[in-house]
Structure 1
Amino acid sequence: MKKILLIIVTTSFAFFGATSKKDRRDQTDPCTIYGSIYFETKKGYADYVIYVEESEAFADLIVFKEENKLMADDTGLWYITDKRDFADYTVYIDKSDDNVDFTVYYTDLLAYAGCK
C-alpha cells in the first residue's frame, strides 16, 4: 500500500511541475494573449513581463483596450480588469525593454490591433 501511494505522489509532482512559469515565458507568443488582463504590481507574480513601446514599429503586439470584456476575444484586444482573480492573464509593465517577454503598443483604433 505504501509503495502505491509513493508512486501516485511522485507522478503527481512530475505532472503538475512539468511547466513552470519560466517555461511558459520561453514559449510566449504574444499573438495568443487577449481577453481580461490584470496589471500586476510585483514582477514575480505576473504571467508575463511587458514593455510599452512608444512606437508601433517596434512592438510585438498592438493592443486596443476594450471597454467590454466580451469583446476582448481576438489578438490584441485587452479588457483591463482590477480584479486579479477574474483575469485571463497577469502582466507586469517593466520600465526597461531588457529581459521582457514581449513589447506592446497601445492604439486608439480597433482595426490596428493585433500582431505583425
Structure 2
Amino acid sequence: MKKESYVLIFILIVISLFFISYFKIQGLAIDEFGEEYEVVENKKPYLGKLCFELWVCKNIGPCVNNAQKKSCYDLNHCGSEKLKPVDKVYCEKNTDYSSYFILGGILIAIFIFILIVVFNKHKVY
C-alpha cells in the first residue's frame, strides 16, 4: 500500500472517532438488586483528552403532577454537568380503563347466563 493510502485511512479514522464522540447513546441497565436504571452515555472531547461521561439515572419518585424526579450521576466523574440528563421527566398516570370494561362485560355475560339457566330450570311445560 502507498503512503498516501495509510494517511487517508488514518484521517478517516480520526474523523470517525470525532463524530462518534458526540453521539448520545441511551439504554437501560439493571443493577445487582434487580432495579432498572436509565443509562445515558455522552461522549464529549475536552481539551487535550477524551472523557467518556457515563450517566446513570434512577427514577426515584412517583408520577406527581405529570413529573417524575430522578437522580443522575456520572460513573466516570468527568466533572462536566453540561450534558447531564434532566432530573425531571414528563410522565402520565395510566388512565386506560378498557380492561375494566372488558371484565365488566364478561361478568354481565356470566350473570345473564346464570339467570337463563335458573329460569329454564323452573319453566313449566
TM-score of Structure 1 vs Structure 2, range by shorter chain: 0.3 to 0.5
The TM-score normalised by the length of structure 2 is 0.32
Q: Which of the two has higher C-alpha Rg?
A: 2
The TM-score normalised by the length of structure 1 is 0.34
The one of the two structures with greater contact order (alpha-carbon pairs below 8 A, sep at least 6) is 1
